[in-house]
């Protein structure tokens, strides 16, 4: 099933791998493959893990790579294909692709984006310069289905704050990720050695947020604030990026609580269990922060159904600083006061 070319060394690394996950990706996959081939520092391999597609996306990817080879003599990228029946879904599909990679660095890749030509070169240089770096992510340019500029960036859509970037740059990525995830897989590259601690990925977490928080718990994570990919937004996105309007924020504040906070508490339990299992790799202070996060999520999950009876406990929790430490501050307070059952 694999289309193979000779592999060439990439930078100072034995190999740079691309973990590409697809599902009915024929519409855009050819353009993504071409953008990978056009890198100033091409990868050594692409591991394409396809999740029960019913279209011809795999053959489109192979054809695009053959076309690149004809246009670029000497290009040497190994394409290996894994086909899943039944589908693994997003988190486990990316886990499978990453575990199949051989490279020292693994670049996560969606089927519908387009990489800027210097993406891998810029990121690989950071890893070479900084041996302690485990994971690096970047901003992205938001584009439409036809790659028209949507006039914004991924970080703008996520409402990333300057202090969050400063904390990540300053070695406090774990504190940021306990509040919320800012790492989008399509922009992420990490050292393959991280998989020894991060795998298996729990299905309750998205692959990118799990990799990011585990990396931040045991090592160094950083961010490049440059837009190094075109992050395509279209009707078939499994996970997209859109900045909430004021109206949408109000709708969320009044929406049903459902089991959101129960799920978040369970995610915190899974994180705590994994970090405890890693023993001396994780600082006691880090374990303490996760325990506090878990206590906060359990508090939110257990809030009474009547809004009026939530006021006093929510304000007490706010005075402890936990809404700011483990969420988005006032926004979380408002949601807990006004969400319906």
Mean pLDDT value of segment 91-99: 98
- Whether residue 1 lies inside any domain: the answer is no
Check whether 238 has a pLDDT greater than 60. no
4 pLDDT band (50/70/90 cuts)? very low
Q: Distance between alpha carbon 150 and the CA centroid of its chain, in Å?
A: 21
Please give the pLDDT value at position 7: 34
Range of the domain at 142: 16-232
Out of 181, 198, 232, a domain closes at 232
Q: In the chain, how many domains are there?
A: 2
CA gap 310, 319 in Å, rounded? 14
- Asked whether residue 280 falls in the same domain as residue 310, the answer is yes
Structure tokens at 150: 């949507």
Mean pLDDT value of segment 105-114: 98
String of DSSP letters for 87-112: --HHHHHHHHHHHH--SSEEEEE-TT
Q: Coil, strand or helix: which one is 293?
A: helix
Report the largest interatomic distance among the alpha carbons of the chain, rounded to a whole angstrom: 70
Check whether 235 has a pLDDT greater than 90. no
Check whether 184 has a pLDDT greater than 70. yes
Q: 311-319 vs 284-301: helix axis angle to the nearest 10?
A: 160
Task: Enumerate the β-bridge partners of residue 49.
Answer: 21, 82
- Asked whether residue 190 falls in the same domain as residue 47, the answer is yes
Check whether 14 has a pLDDT greater than 80. no
Q: Distance between alpha carbon 331 and the CA centroid of its chain, in Å?
A: 23
Query: Which residues does 236 contact at the CB level (< 8 Å), separation at least 6?
Result: 24, 27, 112
Which domain CATH number covers 158? Answer: 3.90.550.10
């Amino acid at each position: 099933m694999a289309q193979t070319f000779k592999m060439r060394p990439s930078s100072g690394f034995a190999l740079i791998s691309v973990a590409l996950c697809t599902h009915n990706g024929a519409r855009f996959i050819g353009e993504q493959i071409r953008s990978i081939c056009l890198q100033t520092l091409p990868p050594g391999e692409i591991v394409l893990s396809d999740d029960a597609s019913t279209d011809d996306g795999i053959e489109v990817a192979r054809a695009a790579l053959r076309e690149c080879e004809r246009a670029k003599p000497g290009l040497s990228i190994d394409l290996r294909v894994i086909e899943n029946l039944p589908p693994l879904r997003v988190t486990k599909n990316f886990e499978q692709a990453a575990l199949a990679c051989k490279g020292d660095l693994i670049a996560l890749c969606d089927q519908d984006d387009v990489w800027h030509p210097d993406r891998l070169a810029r990121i690989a240089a950071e890893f070479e310069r900084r041996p302690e770096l485990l994971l690096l992510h970047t901003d992205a340019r938001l584009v439409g289905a036809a790659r028209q500029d949507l006039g914004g960036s991924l970080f703008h859509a996520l409402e990333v704050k300057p202090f969050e970037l400063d904390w990540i740059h300053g070695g406090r990525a774990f504190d940021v990720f306990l509040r919320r995830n800012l790492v989008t897989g399509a922009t992420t590259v990490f050292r393959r050695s991280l998989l020894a601690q991060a795998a298996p990925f729990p299905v309750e977490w998205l692959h990118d947020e799990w990799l990011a928080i585990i990396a931040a718990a045991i090592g160094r994570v950083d961010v490049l604030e440059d837009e190094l990919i075109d992050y395509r937004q279209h009707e078939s996105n499994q996970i997209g990026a859109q900045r909430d309007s004021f109206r949408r924020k109000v709708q969320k504040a009044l929406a049903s609580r459902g089991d959101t906070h129960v799920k978040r508490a369970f995610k915190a339990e899974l994180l705590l269990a994994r970090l405890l299992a890693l023993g001396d790799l994780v600082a006691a202070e880090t374990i303490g922060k996760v325990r506090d996060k878990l206590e906060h999520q359990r508090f939110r999950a257990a809030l009474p159904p009547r809004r009026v009876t939530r006021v006093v406990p929510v304000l007490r929790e706010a005075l402890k600083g936990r809404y700011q430490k483990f969420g988005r501050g006032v926004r979380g307070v408002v949601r807990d006061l006004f969400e319906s059952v």
